[in-house]
Structure 1
């Protein structure tokens, strides 16, 4: 009977107007865990939890306890335990554990027991303390998947800063000891790569800048980007569960996978007291029609930790539209002050410059890929040592991603006609 009740709950998709999701930190037995639950004022708590040593989430579903909080914890799917219907939905999700919790007198703590579903006489003690909460966006669904989706939409879609206030549960999940690589130097500044042992791939942090200024703002931005990639990796682990859209396709049956995020390649290419640039490349996939084959460049203003508006360096790098608004006329001056709110691309003078100066190393490859046409649609850039700009191809989808290549490298000082008046604010060598 309990299996039937839980199945009905798993299919519940109740949208909310405005409710809080509450984050708790504590222990289950000897293991450190994080738990996010919907506000009990909504009536019936739903949620997700994570072992800090793992990073992925496990769905929790309300069992309508009368005098206490009763939750059912899902078990990972396997071919035997999760049978899919004709639409690819799990018909009877397996239950791995049962929670029985009670609030403290002041409501800030939860305590109780966890028991395996197949051995209810064996229990572990649960102790949780509230550490934060967030208001769910309007239209969020009260379910484990709804909680995860709402956090992703706030961080990725809405562009909110990744902080304890905006994403208390996911932010707290990043509080683990990082591995540290050796200190390296680049043009007088120093950095090292650090790694989250759960997701493996390494990401840079600045150790010292050449002029002795503080790298705090830039390191904060690097940590935020590192964390958002971690969350994407952990979301692949989540797909082992019916409550997180298990489909049986492409995911191992032993608890999901990291979706090859553990093979993500991060390379730091430029570091000065004013500009930081790095690339992210790889092929990640945890469901869907195609893997995410990608090679992307990122450039930030070291002094602010914000995305650098490349139009302040190259005058014909322009905003083509505002994110989320396809019809608005773009105010280029406004876009330069809030570059993260816009989609950017090379203007015609930059495209013409690269077309005029591109010399293919392999004429056959260039012709087969249609490199000249791709330059007009997918021209990207990044910066390299000695204040050079590297023109490259970026954002090529699916199979054509194999045509990604660097096209042309040139010193900024050699292209004065292409530079914006503010270029020297970021590359002081241009004043020499």
Structure 2
């Protein structure tokens, strides 16, 4: 998914190293003075610890860094110019963290209890914490539990009525399906749509934790028929750093099976079953390596040849003196293509480096259905 651009930007905002996948972050919740908070802490090198916390009133992250020793936890919050703005001195006893928070001359007591993700989702209010799916951390599940939706507009689209929902604290909007599907299919599709809404709300809150930040989502339904629901989710954002950015994270759902599809489910140029990724971050897995090799050796050459046949003028390399030209004949721009489905066929969008970002999302790079159906993936068979 193209949300990788946003996710990588958010990850880069964390100055500390990544936690080991085998050692999940500790999640705590409790109070600073009388104010409810949630905290996530991970181990770094040696005694180093790092993480984030948010006030349940605001839900936006403040970055923590420090160390853990025999005396307890010693944490700091630093400003963008690296000045210490908060200090935390905590000791752990019987599954609780207790101590003091200090900012300038102000001091408040701290008491936190460790959060068990399974117990959180199985508890009395567990449904609220499950809304974004079980792959969401307990830290973000706590954040999601504080959010609510309000009804927005209704829309008729290709024979289906869509009910739009707005999350008011982030402004994120997405729809669910009200008519045009039987009840079991509608429930499966709406679960995927709702989880995408909550995941996007998490992204928005993480992004807007930075000063002077912005996050704007535009959702455009592209196709809704008896087989597929396909939509674009274009995000424009500034999460701190040197420049604002934008990117589309399209979503295509198999309406019959109620699952999100990969490009290889629709267009498959290989033999046998398409390789699968096991999850985000599995770049060393055999499935991902096979998929990466397939895209480089098979998908990219086919894409360039097919689009050159359909759109020869647009696919011509820019002339030598045209430094601002868009080179759609470059294999490097098609390996991680944006894609979604339309009534006319499969849209494939290139991915350019930042300096050529204006070359992205051309309106002509569409492969007609008659060509796609010559190379059907499992979802087309």
The TM-score bracket by the shorter chain reads 0.5 to 0.7
In the alignment, the residues of structure 1 paired with residue 346 and residue 96 of structure 2 have an alpha-carbon distance, to the nearest angstrom, of 54
Q: Give the structure 1 partner of residue 123 of structure 2.
A: none
Q: What's the counterpart of residue 52 of structure 2?
A: 48
The 5 Å alignment of 1:148-227 reads: 163-164=133-134, 167-175=137-145, 176-227=147-198
Tell me the distance in 1 between the aligned counterparts of 2:111 and 2:276: 49
Q: What are the equivalent positions in structure 2 for 1:58-69 lying under 5 Å apart?
A: 58-60=62-64, 61=66, 66=71
Query: Out of 47, 53, 77, which is 2:79 matched to?
Result: 77
Q: Which runs of 5+ in 1 are unaligned?
A: 1-10, 83-89, 135-161, 240-255, 426-432
Cα RMSD after superposing both structures: 4.9
Tell me the SS of whatever aligns to 1:400.
helix
Change in CA separation of 1:410 and 1:115 when aligned onto 2, cut-off 3 Å:
closer
What is the alpha-carbon distance in structure 2 between the residues aligned to residue 166 and residue 409 of structure 1? Answer: 34
CA deviation profile, 1:153-179 (whole Å, cap 9, x unmatched): xxxxxxxxx755662112322221133
How far apart, in 1, do the equivalents of 2:32 and 2:115 lie? 16
Shift of 1:300: 3.0
By relative contact order (CA 8 Å, sep 6+), the higher-ranking structure is 1
Identify if the C-alpha distance between structure 1 residues 285 and 207 changes in structure 2 by more than 3 Å, giving closer, same or farther: same
- Please tell me whether residue 266 in structure 1 is matched to residue 219 in structure 2: yes
- When Rg is computed on C-alpha atoms for both structures, the one with the higher figure is 1
Q: Which among 359, 383, 400 is matched to residue 341 of structure 2?
A: 383
Structure 2 residue runs of 5 or longer lacking an equivalent are 1-14, 119-131
Paired residues for 1:20-419 under 5 Å: 21-37=25-41, 47-60=51-64, 61=66, 66=71, 72-74=75-77, 77=79, 82=81, 90=82, 93-96=83-86, 98=88, 103=93, 107=94, 114=101, 116-120=103-107, 123=108, 126=110, 128-132=112-116, 163-164=133-134, 167-175=137-145, 176-238=147-209, 256-258=211-213, 260=214, 262-272=215-225, 274-287=227-240, 291-316=244-269, 324-325=283-284, 346=299, 348-358=301-311, 369-370=325-326, 373=329, 377-378=333-334, 381-384=339-342, 387-404=343-360, 405-407=362-364, 412=369, 414-415=370-371, 418-419=374-375
Change (3 A) 1:128 1:197: farther
Aligned-pair CA distance for 1:308: 1.5
Q: Could you tell me the TM-score, scaled by structure 2's length?
A: 0.65
Secondary structure at 2:264 match in 1:
helix
Counterpart-to-counterpart distance in 1, 2:255 and 2:332: 30
SS at match of 2:184: coil
